[in-house]
Amino acid sequence: MALPSPALPTLVLASSSPYRAELLARLRLPFESHAPDIDETPLPQEQPEELAARLAETKAQIVGAKTSNALVIGSDQVAVLEQQMLGKPKTHERALQQLQAASGRTVFFYTGLCLLNTVTGASKTVVEPFQVRFRQLTEQQIDTYLQREQPYQCAGSFRSEGLGIALIQHLQGNDPNALVGLPLIRLTELLEQAGYPVL
């Protein structure tokens, strides 16, 4: 007689981002979302890739501490322009400054991804890079974009999945989903390695 297969762990997204939830929903897997509350301030001398990885891990750990039998997904993104990290602008004025600085230049986006198994305590963290070359933009073009899109909670004031695509001259990277905030190609790999079948 065949033994019953063990129940799969609950899939939990450690994020309040509707964009990440929308991306994860594309895999057509049942999941829950829980928002972690963390300080996103970089540590002294911390590099962008290190910050993205640490924030993703911290999100997964905070939510994982409150969850049993779960695979917890933590993700965070850091934008960098000429070695200066661009945070979430939060205001129109700051977003305008960020995009004026990015005009005609390349911004590097680093998206950290952590998958934490709350049963075993095992976790795996990766960082997915992506490059965005911005067009030469006028202040009026930037202001129009900001008024319509209001990307004030997005790193670098940029949302590629919306009107932000009109700001772009060139994109370079392995997974366009990483630019939105959740690298689904790498996530699929991590889930399958953890014994959670996507297909």
Distance from C-alpha of 116 to C-alpha of 176, rounded to nearest angstrom: 23
> In this structure, which CATH number among 3.90.79.10, 3.90.950.10, 3.30.300.30, 1.10.1370.40 belongs to the domain 10-193?
3.90.950.10
Q: What is the pLDDT of residue 197?
A: 87
Distance from C-alpha of 13 to C-alpha of 26, rounded to nearest angstrom: 13
**pLDDT tens digits, one per residue of 61-73:** 999 999 889 999 9
Query: What DSSP element (H or E) covers 79?
Result: strand 70-81
Catalytic residue among 37, 76, 143, 175, which?
A: 76
Distance from C-alpha of 49 to C-alpha of 163, rounded to nearest angstrom: 27
Distance from C-alpha of 188 to C-alpha of 195, rounded to nearest angstrom: 11
37 belongs to the catalytic site: no
Q: What is the pLDDT of residue 6?
A: 56
Q: What is the pLDDT of residue 166?
A: 92
Nearest CA to 181 out of 23, 42, 44 is that of 23
To the nearest 10 degrees (0 to 180), the angle between helices 184-193 and 18-25 is: 60
Query: What does the angle CA 121 – CA 180 – CA 24 come to, to the nearest 5 degrees?
Result: 50
Q: What is the pLDDT of residue 41?
A: 85
The pTM of this model reads 0.89
Q: Which residues of the chain have pLDDT under 50?
A: 1-5
Q: What is the pLDDT of residue 108?
A: 95
Distance from C-alpha of 104 to C-alpha of 113, rounded to nearest angstrom: 29
